[in-house]
Structure 1
Amino acid sequence: MFKPSQIISRRAGLKSLAAAALLGAVGMAPVAAQDVFPSKPLTIVVPFAAGGTTDILARIVSQALQQELGQTVIVDNKPGAGGNIGAAAAARAAADGYTLFMGTVGTHAINASLYQKPGFDPIKDFAPLTRVATVPNLLVANPKQPFKTVKEMIAYAKANPGKLNYGSSGSGSSIHLSGELFRSMTGLDMVHVPYKGSAPAITDLLGNQIAVMFDNMPSAIQHVRSGKLRPIVVTTAKRSPELPDVPTVAEAGVPGYEATSWFGLWTQAKTPAPVQQRLHAAIAKVLKDPAVIKKINDQGGDIVIDTPAEFAAYIKAESAKWGKVVKDSGAQV
């Protein structure tokens, strides 16, 4: 039988052991939480309105990522200022990998040249993960417009200076710059009408409130297939397999014209390297999924999978290219 002093001593020892175990568990909790990523829902910030190409691609990827990561992936649309509002919000997000940014050639290769204060640094504030897709832009017109070809459109614009307006998803977007490049190469007097995304611009185009638009193919192709919009040309060097009867701009009479849009995923720049690697691996895996490939191909897009280093180098080259376009075309916000 234990003596009273022994019982007290044993109880004290048990309390000490329990306290030590508790402290150990508490001390280990943050480490365990860091080791298991993701442990809560993720968000993909889209800097344009719902219904546009950036939004369409983000939702295709988010659905596949949910299954791959085992967590809900929310798409959060923050439109405005040619993508700058959403980009700035993503740049200020916590550096924990739970906020992704579906950016574009506009947000990460054009806006720095077009805006004096975009509100974020596309290089310093973001960690590039991979491109997701490239898509052609498609010049579409309301069927009520009195032209069906580029030559007819040029003739109409020259006969009616300042009366032909074209919409875009926002100043600085690839859609805007595609129009500016066309305007500068043809010498036409066209009026730019910026929106907070492709979807509201398409709505006005369908209502004939704007005449034409150089839209990303995924957000325009359904209206072309239904006959609600008239396709004029694609902006790439080669015709699109999805619309093989639509000529390129060069074929239609403007030699040397070419413009392609691309979309990619970033996370906050200071996100830990292991988390960045986990995200890149998961995104690369879902982009190889035949179901995801088909969905993006059906929209007129082509899948692209980069390493982060390859993506960073590509952004640098694209920034130089589009910076020159902005300067040469005289594009303004």
Structure 2
Amino acid sequence: MKSIYKYFLKIYLILLFLFSGFLSADYPDKPITLITPYAAGGSNDLTARVFTSYLSKYLDQQVLIKLVPGQAGQKGTLEAIRSVADGYTMVFTDNYRDQLHQYTFPNEYYDTNEDLVTVARINYGQIAVIVRGDGPYETWEDLENDARSKPGKLKISHSGLWAALFVPEWEIMNRLDLKFRMIPYRGGGPAKAALLSGDVDVSMAFPATVAEDVAAGRVRILATAGPERQIDNIPSFTEIGLSPTTGFIHRIIMAPIDTPKDRLLKVRQALQELQNDQLYLDAMLQMGENTEYMDGIEYDNIRLQQSINYGNLINSMDKSK
């Protein structure tokens, strides 16, 4: 049923594309829509707003952001896959929705490995454990000791099941044998707001989304993802006993699989030019984000390993039940 549905959908989109008269050499001759399957205010939303505002210069067309949150990213992803594969609709997604969700949210409507092609990775983010600045936890050790003394009592907010906050939180509990009460919210912004309001004891966020809060003393960072320290005197995840890859998010642009290769190339060339734009680089730096760009063809080499790693993660979860 799934294969038949996808076959006829693909035929329909190809015919619609051919008969629409879009095969001009002047691509793009109208704005490009970038679907982001996230709520407003999170790190991916903020990153998208920055790079699209500068990318328009190199495409000679606007890149319009369309927020389509819901169903753990499936709603926006499906809308992008069902769009005409003409290069005018793409999706800004991440490694969790691209490779993890095939295990956690399997569906009969699409397979990202078959229905999407990677345009480019914009950058990656390394998540952080955060608490209130006026709260009782000064260090990661303070939080860990309290969590061990009150298993299941401390509340931790996340941005939705199997999303960017949920996965590293679950890995912390699994690998460090800690128990938190996980409270879901619709995106990273609401998850942070729950911490600031005192509804939860701890959360996670990408440093760019809490930079102003840290400077104002509203938020304190206790640990950051990766094998090395991002911030002086703040331990890395590896130092507290986690995997070097825990808490990494790869932010990627993808397009419907049948998008013409010359149009993909034109977008990639524009993105490559963007990497030399000092105003863009400064804007990302000011936001606390890196600009570790990677071409889509190169990034595809990473996707296979991601799939294997996430399969192992789900297997370990099943065994721990």
Into which bin does the TM-score normalised by the smaller protein fall?
0.7 to 0.9
Matched, 1:100 2:90: yes
Gap regions ≥5 residues in structure 1: 1-28
1:154-188 CA-partner distances (Å, limit 9, x unpaired):
22112222121222222122321111111111111
Structure 2 equivalent of residue 314 of structure 1: 302
1:187-237 CA-partner distances (Å, limit 9, x unpaired):
111122222211111111111112211212222222122211111110111
Structure 1 equivalent of residue 250 of structure 2: 262
Structure 2 equivalent of residue 60 of structure 1: 50
Task: Quote the offset at 1:30 in angstroms.
Answer: 4.0
Local SS of the residue matching 2:113: coil
Structure 1 equivalent of residue 129 of structure 2: 139
Matches of 1:291 and 1:233, distance apart in 2? 30
Contact preservation (8 Å) 1:138, 1:220: no
Task: Quote the offset at 1:249 in angstroms.
Answer: 2.6
Equivalent of residue 248 in structure 1, options 217, 236, 246: 236
- 1:115-130 alignment, distance < 5 Å: 115-117=105-107, 119-130=109-120
Structure 1 runs of 4+ off > 6 angstroms? none
- Normalising to structure 2: TM-score of the pair? 0.87
Contact preservation (8 Å) 1:112, 1:118: no
Local SS of the residue matching 2:93: strand
2:311 maps to amino acid: G
2:78 maps to amino acid: A
Contact preservation (8 Å) 2:31, 2:64: yes
Matches of 1:204 and 1:222, distance apart in 2? 17
- Normalising to structure 1: TM-score of the pair? 0.84
Structure 2 equivalent of residue 15 of structure 1: none
Contact preservation (8 Å) 1:136, 1:301: no
Gap regions ≥5 residues in structure 2: 1-19
Matches of 2:69 and 2:95, distance apart in 1? 16
1:9-46 CA-partner distances (Å, limit 9, x unpaired):
xxxxxxxxxxxxxxxxxxxx948x52110111111111
Q: Against the structure 1 CA distance between its residues 118 and 203, is the aligned structure 2 distance closer, same or farther, given a 3 Å change threshold?
A: farther
Matches of 2:278 and 2:144, distance apart in 1? 41
- 1:28-177 alignment, distance < 5 Å: 30=21, 34-117=24-107, 119-177=109-167
Identity, % of aligned positions: 21
Structure 2 equivalent of residue 188 of structure 1: 178
Structure 2 equivalent of residue 295 of structure 1: 283
Structure 1 equivalent of residue 311 of structure 2: 323
The CA RMSD measured in Å over matched residues stands at 2.2
Task: Quote the offset at 1:93 in angstroms.
Answer: 1.3
2:281 maps to amino acid: I
Local SS of the residue matching 2:97: helix
1:238-274 CA-partner distances (Å, limit 9, x unpaired):
111xx333221333x3254542221011111111111
Contact preservation (8 Å) 1:124, 1:269: yes
1:267 maps to amino acid: A
Contact preservation (8 Å) 1:47, 1:83: yes
Task: Quote the offset at 1:77 in angstroms.
Answer: 0.9
